[in-house]
Amino acid sequence: MREDRVFIKDFPLKALEAWVASIGERPFRARQIFRHVYGRLIRSWNECSDLPKAFRTQLEYGTILNPLERVGTEEGSDGTRKFVFRLHDGHLIESVLIPDPPRLTACLSSQVGCALACRFCLTGTMGFKRHLRTAEIVDQLIQMQHAVGLHQRITNIVFMGMGEPLANEEALLNSLQILLAPEGLGFSHRRVTVSTVGLVPPMERLGRESPVNLAVSLHAADDDTRSRLMPINRTYPLAALMEACRAYPMPSRKRITFEYLLLKGVNDRPEDARRLVKLLSFVRCKVNLIPFNPHPSLPFERPSEESVAAFQHILQQAHLAATIRQSRGADIRAACGQLAARMVSS
């Protein structure tokens, strides 16, 4: 594999224009390429008969069009599908497709592994290998779209797979540009959600640069509990995180989603719910309660359905919108916090 080839899906339109110019081609070729790659979802440059033969050859030898190789697919009893992709350097990542008619949601990964080591998350136990590049993020969506067929469109995107998207902010922002570009994949910002543990500085940047939805993995309403569950809370404690949330620029009608994982006996008591209500006053938000998905290597338990319902009830009594996430794909280890593709050692 020659190493000087460019990954064509790394480029938002402007950057593609610059690259096209740098190899001496006319600028309008960038839009043409963009339409082929994202409008038609081509898999080979041979499919672009309106590009001159010499240019096609140049693209064929000078670029990488398909950065991911699909090496596995599993389908769960609820229709959720998990995909395993191999990257050019041999690492494996996982992505998930969740049918919820009329929606079809793609859950994308942003890193190989994760550095944040949240105690309840299987991806966190893998450690961090590397960031995904823009092309590797965008191609997860394109590969999954091909897998379901072009007649059935993926409607929603969540960055809730492996990794912390805001720790990989350049690639994340570039991929958002490509996903949202009308000349690109054309997703509405209302249908794209980035989930974060709450890295404050890149959160502020995301708010300035992209209109997509924000979800914050909160999981505790006091610093002691949160720091025990999520070491990142020592760097960005709740006061700083909540201040950033209150200041987050949001068009009217948008709200921040707070994800709150429910762990039996740890953060699921009525007083935890009341503390959460207090913490979230003055933020335009909704709460998504996620009953813990257990794994033998993780030292937590899932709370009973009654205590989940009681927790939700306290939030709703306080006029806080609160839904319970039915995590999908648990039987194929595709549910929240269960993505942990085995990696090549390096």
Q: Which residue is catalytic, options 114, 118, 121, 336?
A: 336
Between the CA of residue 336 and those of 11, 107, 212, 278, what are the distances in Å? Answer: 30, 10, 20, 26
Neighbour count for residue 193 (Cβ, 10 Å):
18
Which range in 21-29, 82-90, 189-197, 240-248 contacts ligand SAH by CB under 6 A?
189-197
Residue among 168, 174, 175, 196 that touches ligand SAH (CB under 6 A): 196
Residue among 292, 303, 311, 315 that touches ligand SAH (CB under 6 A): 292
Q: Counting contacts by CB under 6 A, is residue 175 touching ligand SAH?
A: no
Between the CA of residue 223 and those of 42, 70, 295, 320, what are the distances in Å? Answer: 49, 41, 25, 21
Which range in 49-57, 62-70, 202-210, 288-296 contacts ligand SAH by CB under 6 A?
288-296
Residue among 10, 139, 169, 259 that touches ligand SAH (CB under 6 A): 259
Q: Active-site residue 74, yes or no?
A: no
Q: Counting contacts by CB under 6 A, is residue 258 touching ligand SAH?
A: no
- The Cα 106–Cα 83 span in angstroms is 11
Q: Counting contacts by CB under 6 A, is residue 121 touching ligand SAH?
A: yes
Q: Counting contacts by CB under 6 A, is residue 160 touching ligand SAH?
A: yes
Q: Counting contacts by CB under 6 A, is residue 192 touching ligand SAH?
A: no
User: Which positions ≥6 away from 75 have C-beta within 8 Å?
Assistant: 81, 82, 332
> DSSP for 48-65?
-TTS-HHHHHHHHHHEES
Give the nearest distance from C-beta 57 to ligand SAH in angstroms: 41
Instruction: Choose among 340, 337, 338, 326: nearest CA to 98.
Output: 326
> DSSP for 170-206?
HHHHHHHHHHH-TTTT---GGGEEEEES--HHHHHHH
Nearer to ligand SAH, 12 or 198 (CB): 198
Per DSSP, the chain holds a count of helices (H) and strands (E) of 11, 14
Residue 129 and residue 112 in contact, taking contact as beta carbons nearer than 8 Å: yes
Q: Which residue is catalytic, options 17, 25, 48, 94?
A: 94
Residue among 164, 169, 268, 272 that touches ligand SAH (CB under 6 A): 164
Q: Counting contacts by CB under 6 A, is residue 197 touching ligand SAH?
A: yes
Give the nearest distance from C-beta 14 to ligand SAH in angstroms: 27
- The Cα 8–Cα 155 span in angstroms is 24
Sign of CA dihedral 337, 339, 344, 346: negative
| Closest residue to ligand SAH in the complex (CB) | 337
Residue among 145, 174, 193, 195 that touches ligand SAH (CB under 6 A): 195
Q: Active-site residue 121, yes or no?
A: no
Instruction: Choose among 285, 197, 286: nearest CA to 246.
Output: 285
Q: Counting contacts by CB under 6 A, is residue 261 touching ligand SAH?
A: yes
Q: Of residues 51-110, which lie at the interface with ligand SAH (CB under 6 A)? A: none
Given the rule CB under 6 A, which residues bind ligand SAH? 118, 120-121, 160, 164, 195-197, 217, 259, 261, 290, 292-293, 327, 336-337
Task: Give the residue numbers marked as catalytic.
Answer: 94, 336
